[in-house]
Amino acid sequence: MTASSEPVSHLSDSAFFTSSRLANLLGDFWTPGFYWQYLAITCCLLLAWALARSLRSRLTTDDTGLLGVMSGQAFLLLSALLMAIARAVMEMKWPIHLFDILIPLLLALALVRALRRMLHRSFPQAWWLKDASRILSVLVWGWLALFLSGIAPEAVALLETVGVQAGAHRISLWMLINGLVVVALILLFSLWLSSLLESRLLRSPDIDVSLRIVLVRLSKALFLLLAVLLSFSLIGLDITALSVFTGALGVGLGIGLQRIASNYVSGFIILLDRSIQLGNLIHVDADSSGVVTRITTRYTVLKNLVGDEFIVPNEALVINIVRNQTFSEPQLRVVAAVSVTYASDLEKVLRLLESIAQEQERVLKDPAPSANIIRFSERGIDLELGFWVNDPEKGVVVLRSQINLEIWRRFREEGIEIPFPQREVRILGQADARM
């Protein structure tokens, strides 16, 4: 780092008493103008309290949106606005030093509260949330103390003397701090806006679930991109220099990150064409199947009935054949097989099977269960009971077991016999020996 050759006035012990707003306030403390200021400020506070109370009673929105944030700071903002108007009026005849202190205090308090609400909204589960809120409060109140004491110009001049030369530009410590603060505030504001848009989209009943997820992902990426570009422009950086970085990133994606990029592209394809949606029961292969519980831009999560979760890359769902049992509709046909002897009354057996299925709560009445004769085998007549359910994500093993148990119970009551394999063995050698 280098120090500037220009002379800079150093902070002195008398800076507070020569340029401080607090010093100016102490100068007119015993004058009549101070009490007129006190009276005007009291009236402004009472009027702001009444207006803020009336505004909050009229708002019907929740406290997470822009109106919610504004209504939460309504008293502070209205008080600062009314005091600014009173200050402009009283400036022509009376001192205004009390206004010069209270207005920045109110604005700083409103800023701290608004930043805390944005942090809680953007990062609701972050472990560092409390520490970040404290740091923001310290920064805002610290800068306000420097401003009110009159030390702020001296501090800025001191920070500008420390810097480094980067080509044709000189980057000072003040420019670096100012840029970091601007970037942080813009990024926080963009994340807060994207979280508001996300909550609105996810609660919208008129938009498909997959489309909501796509819009949420795109909105977050767009807000962050705009925030970064705006931040660079405000702090004076040339955004055309990013072309080198984007070119290198494109080469890296083409060589080393091809599969990862393919998964992200496949994720957007799945979300846009809605071939796989949340709640679908899909089978990727013989070992990976379950209900879709989460779809991200890189992978999809499947959960089976025993609690196992499969993280499937989106590329595998796009290039391979996927069995989606609930793609067009959630109904699934389940089959229970049974056999009876040739002596059984088949018409009675078919009616009994259909009535057993109709007694189950999960079995749909339309389409109705149907029992059919499949084949005449060597050990009996094979029958099939087919029925439909509209909640395949709950599984069909338990339901099929309940129906099979009821079939066994009812067949015993009706005297219907279920055949089992039998074999008759004849020993011809011993018979020939007797003869």
139-147 long-range contacts, CB within 8 A, separation 24+? 139/181, 140/108, 140/111, 140/112, 140/115, 141/108, 141/112, 144/104, 144/105, 144/108, 147/104
The answer to whether the beta carbons of residues 417 and 341 sit under 8 Å apart is yes
Helices (H), 123-208: 129-149, 152-160, 173-202
What pLDDT is stored for residue 6 in this prediction? 42
- Among residues 83, 171, 172, 69, the alpha carbon closest in space to that of 113 is found at 69
* Angle, CA of 13, 16 and 18, to the nearest 5°: 100
The answer to whether the beta carbons of residues 223 and 193 sit under 8 Å apart is yes
Total Cβ atoms within 10 A of residue 186: 19
Q: Which residue has the tokens 């069909």?
A: 396
Q: What is the pTM of this model?
A: 0.46
Over 80: is that where the pLDDT of 413 sits?
yes
Q: pLDDT grade, residue 366 (50/70/90)? A: confident
Q: pLDDT grade, residue 385 (50/70/90)? A: very high
What pLDDT is stored for residue 18 in this prediction? 40
Range ranked top by mean pLDDT from 8-22, 82-96, 379-393? 379-393
Mean residue pLDDT across the chain: 76
47-61, 101-115, 299-313, 387-401: least confident range: 47-61
What pLDDT is stored for residue 8 in this prediction? 41
Q: Which helix (H) or strand (E) holds 167?
A: none
The answer to whether the beta carbons of residues 385 and 403 sit under 8 Å apart is yes
Range ranked top by mean pLDDT from 170-179, 211-220, 379-388? 379-388
Residue 388 CA to its chain's centroid (Å): 36
What pLDDT is stored for residue 112 in this prediction? 83
**pLDDT 10s digits, 237-278:** 655 655 666 666 666 656 666 777 788 788 878 877 778 888
What pLDDT is stored for residue 3 in this prediction? 43
Beta-carbon contacts of 335 under 8 Å, excluding residues fewer than 6 positions away, are 384, 385, 386
168-182, 202-216, 335-349: least confident range: 202-216
DSSP per-residue codes, 213-280 = HHHHHHHHHHHHHHHHHHHHHHTT--GGGHHHHHHHHHHHHHHTSHHHHHHHHHHHHHHHHTSS-TT-
What pLDDT is stored for residue 404 in this prediction? 92
- Which strand ranges, in their side-by-side order, compose the sheet holding 162-166? 2-3, 162-166, 169-172
Tokens linked to 411 = 């067949």
- DSSP assigned state of 13: T
